[in-house]
Amino acid sequence: MICAICLVCGFSACSDDHTGSMDVSGECLVEKFVLNGQYEGTISTEKRLVKVKVPVDFDQKSNMEITSLTVSSGAETNMKVGDHINFDGDRTLHISNGDLVMDYQVSVRNDEALMSLFLLEGVKGAINQQDKTVTVSVMANSGIDLSNATFEVVCSEDATCSPASGTKGNFTEPFQITLTDNTATTVYTVYVTLIADPVAIFVGEAENIELLNDEEKAEVKAFEDEYNVLVYHVIRSFMQDGIWDSYLFVDDNREQWEYDREDIHEGYARVYVNSHSPFSEMGMIGVRESGGGLIRTA
């Protein structure tokens, strides 16, 4: 019995000593981080992130010197002042303080002011990054007041937009939007093109199908043969880069027919968009009833 008691006490003592040896009294926080003597990082403890911004044309990220690094008292790091590090990619700053450890991601980013998305009253624009232009094709029957239309912009993370995204502008003429991020400034010009009302061509009716010339009829037939489908309706849209014919079709999968009907009732249709170019493709378009048929809305 005495031996058993001693054994239990011995285990208890080991357990207490092990717990007591854990040093969790310190902190593992980054207080200051500077590269090349001038690029100070923005520190987010919540995200465990140190973000350093450099000029838009800075091209020396592969060899940057840590000139200042301040962390919590007593903490040690894997990076030291004076180290030359390649920051072409994100690097990990490892901090330990006693038995506490914490990793920060160090990210060096050039200033950037680029637009990634433009919407005009919900209509998506085509962004040309080379020319810094945005082209928006708006249906003539859309009801959008281009003289006072709301636009939205998605741009680089740290860039600001002027005029501000979510405000209104006059798009009856070229409209300029300026994005700025410190040393990076980009001016985009928005052009709006009005598209004539689409024409509905009922393939099943001889009178309407004559709106297709022999070559276009052959294209419909070739599409039907290739995919084993039946084209029941064609919507012709007059786009900025030419005529687009949207083929509404059904295939031989009867289970799909009910879904096709539901889509049309909800304002969508499964189509093959023949832009008479290498960029023709399958997809979904917005449609609505008009004159006993369907016309394209988006």
Q: Reply yes or no on whether the pLDDT at 18 is more than 90.
A: no
> Which two structure tokens, joined as six digits, stand for 73?
């008292």
> Which two structure tokens, joined as six digits, stand for 111?
């200033």
| Own/partner long-range contacts of 124-130 (Cβ < 8 Å, ≥24 apart) | 125/190, 127/188
> Do 135 and 129 contact (CB within 8 A), yes or no?
no
Rounded to two decimals, what is the model's pTM? 0.61
Q: Reply yes or no on whether the pLDDT at 239 is more than 60.
A: yes
In 90-222, where do the E strands start and end?
A: 91-97, 100-110, 115-120, 123-124, 126-128, 133-139, 149-155, 160-162, 168-169, 175-181, 184-195, 199-201
> For the chain, what are the domain ranges?
30-110, 115-195, 199-296
Alpha-carbon span 197 to 203, nearest angstrom: 19
H-state helical runs in the chain: 2-20, 206-209, 214-227, 254-265
Alpha-carbon span 274 to 242, nearest angstrom: 11
3-state secondary structure of 267: coil
Convert the pLDDT of each residue in 100-137 to its tens digit.
Answer: 999 999 999 999 999 999 999 988 888 999 999 998 88
Which of 210 and 247 is assigned the larger pLDDT? 247
> Which two structure tokens, joined as six digits, stand for 277?
């170019």
Please give the CATH topology (third level) of the domain spanning 115-195: Immunoglobulin-like (2.60.40)
Predicted local confidence at residue 12, as pLDDT: 40
Q: Reply yes or no on whether the pLDDT at 265 is more than 60.
A: yes
Residue with tokens 């917005």: 286
Alpha-carbon span 12 to 20, nearest angstrom: 12
Q: Reply yes or no on whether the pLDDT at 164 is more than 80.
A: yes
The architecture CATH gives domain 30-110: Sandwich (2.60)
- C-beta atoms surrounding 84 within 10 Å: 9
CA angle 9, 14, 17 (to 5 degrees): 125
Q: Answer yes or no: same fold for 30-110 and 115-195.
A: yes
Averaged pLDDT for residues 22-29: 74
